[in-house]
Amino acid sequence: MENNLKVYGADWCPKTAEIKNFLQAEWIDFDYFNVETDEEAQQRMKDIYDGKVKFPTVTKGDAHLKNPKIADIRRFLKEE
């Protein structure tokens, strides 16, 4: 079953690691996509950001957050 919450980032990115660690610590299920090694994930970012690859990005359905703080993610999860 595909997860609705997705994190797009890069393995070397500290902000991506912070987001992944937060979600894991809160037992929030998500799928992670490395935009540097996954061409489909890279294209998804380009589709969202007019041809640019920006990360970290958190998506749920059609909604997305670019470079969010943990508080932003908490609000996003409650709203979506």
Burial (CB count within 10 angstroms: exposed 0-12, middle 13-18, buried 19+), residue 36: middle
Domain boundaries, the chain: 5-79
pLDDT of residue 2: 53
Show pLDDT as tens, one digit a residue, over the chain (80 residues). 456 899 999 999 999 999 999 999 999 999 999 999 999 999 999 999 999 999 999 999 889 999 999 999 999 998 86
Q: Does CATH number 3.40.30.10 belong to domain 5-79?
A: yes
Beginning with the edge strand found earlier in the chain, give each strand of the sheet holding 5-9 in spatial order.
Answer: 31-34, 5-9, 57-60, 63-66
